[in-house]
Amino acid sequence: MAVTASDDTTPRHERVTHHATPGPRNSLAHWTTARSPLRVAINYIVVWLVRISPSLRLKRWLLRRIGVTVGSGVSWGLEATPDVFWPDLITLEANAIVGYDATILCHEFLQDEYRTGEVVVGERAMIGAGAIILPGVEIGHDASIAANSLVTRDVPPGATVAGVPAEPMAGTADDETSDGGE
């Protein structure tokens, strides 16, 4: 799957699937009708192992067992968490890096609905420590997500984003080296 970035006029919400809540309570109260409890329990155990294993090779193998599409050379940091309910909606292209304690979500349980959406992390993209990626987001090749950022929309190839919500980093070499004086 090729990663194509969208501009602000094409929000991730257009790529997520909306599922109505089947009863009077919030959608999380009905999670067992959305996903098999046994499947989620197995995913949870595998995710726990992925989070604590120091072996990248084992992490890649385990992620593939729960349905994550994992390219060659992917690095998955300690304590990083893939979506436990829908890990099969995650694609990590070759040589992508997911940093320490980052989270990739492919679902959102809300009051009147839940949403699911694919997350694609492009080739050689980097997700910093503690970053959170929301459902339906595409991160372009060679893009960088700063630590502790909340990614709510697509990141173009080669871009660097930071913040909550993540925004493109403004600045050039001239801006970064300027101290305001002569």
At 99-138, the pLDDT tens digits run 999 999 999 999 999 999 999 999 999 999 999 999 999 9
| Nearest by Cα to 86 from 151, 139, 17 | 17
Question: Average pLDDT of the chain?
Answer: 89
Q: Regarding the domain delimited by 16-168, which CATH topology (the fold level of the hierarchy) does it fall under? A: UDP N-Acetylglucosamine Acyltransferase; domain 1 (2.160.10)
pTM: 0.86
Residue-wise pLDDT tens digits, 54-89: 999 999 999 999 999 999 999 999 999 999 999 999
Domain ranges of the chain: 16-168
State the Cα–Cα distance between residues 5 and 117, nearest whole angstrom. Answer: 15
Secondary structure element (H or E) that encloses residue 62, with its range: helix 56-65
Residue 24's pLDDT is what? 81
| Beta bridge partners of residue 144, listed in sequence order | 126, 160
Residue-wise pLDDT tens digits, 165-179: 999 997 533 334 444
